[in-house]
Structure 1
């Protein structure tokens, strides 16, 4: 089963990157300006696939539908959801539950409103560990279960969707998620391929970041051009560094992404 999924994070006003979601340049790299995101949605709505809920994954694969996901649970999720609703799109809002109610993040009331508006609310772990794949099985189970319990308590409904923080996926991460009742787990692997771990469907995603043109989002959604191949190549070139030289990888990534944003904007 092949399903194209796009991964967004926060959407902010120019110069206000820290207003929603995790602060700092590294996180800000994945936050689109409002006008930029609106351009993405306009192109995707006009020329892209239909974006529905992952819970209809089988039909999505059969009909060529895509999936839109938003990681972290930043406060911008409310406005993002409204923009999606106006275009008949469903979003998947994956929430870091330890941050609910904190500055820059969704409130408990926001979480309920997202669900009531027809969007999918899921887990992005409880504490957003720096390298979740390095946790023990007991720690992983606690991360997923605590997050699922909080969200299901707010929604009054089972929570079966989640995404892996930081891109640090492993089979054990998926096994722990499945044990907590997760049936759909998004990774950061740039692929349309899926596989199943203990009854949990694991899906890859293509990442969108600040400065990426709307046409690129469309290419990733449709598989046109070379956009998917370029992301796949870049991801796999980084894999050995992430696995075997973690401190160096984190330093290089932080040094590059924490550079000040040019004042001229995007």
Structure 2
């Protein structure tokens, strides 16, 4: 089992230590949110053998300086054979919701720079693209010939879902699937073969996870829920979801003693 999307560098050092010492799954895909995050995620991947790094820039923030963006690109150039993906990248849906006057064009330009690198190095891209933004991002993926796309914690309409399925884009399911009907409906409509599981930690969850630190082990409950909604056994769901993740991310760092 793999947590396909976590912000490991956003946890405190003590939390990281506790988490890794109590890990009951194979590994984590640790995404980055800015230059400092890329640097920290790279260090964590060297510290822990089952952490797979991805470099990117999270769109729900003020635009990066050109220097910061160039330095992230330099890291991708230098480590493209060691990282498993480019991400987290995307468009600022929630930021624009707070400020409808926000100009999205500069964010599109930043995203396209990362797509160019994903295409150049044949790397998967991890996307923050929900609702209205997802259709535009699908257009950009086609434009830049990026085929391995992972829409993490995806939310969107049926038209977009159909397009993503046709293009064989991956999604990942979070622990809110235990109590959010929108995510449960997505699980039912999306092919299991195009699905992974994630926590997006340290983002907190409600329901049975209320008040708990978001831990990668929570994906076990996510897998159980997917099995229930897909009307298959837990073993079938676990094997398919794990296989999907290994096939999508070709160079995962894992601890095989947990398998």
TM-score (norm 1): 0.48
TM-score (norm 2): 0.49
Larger proportion of helix: 2
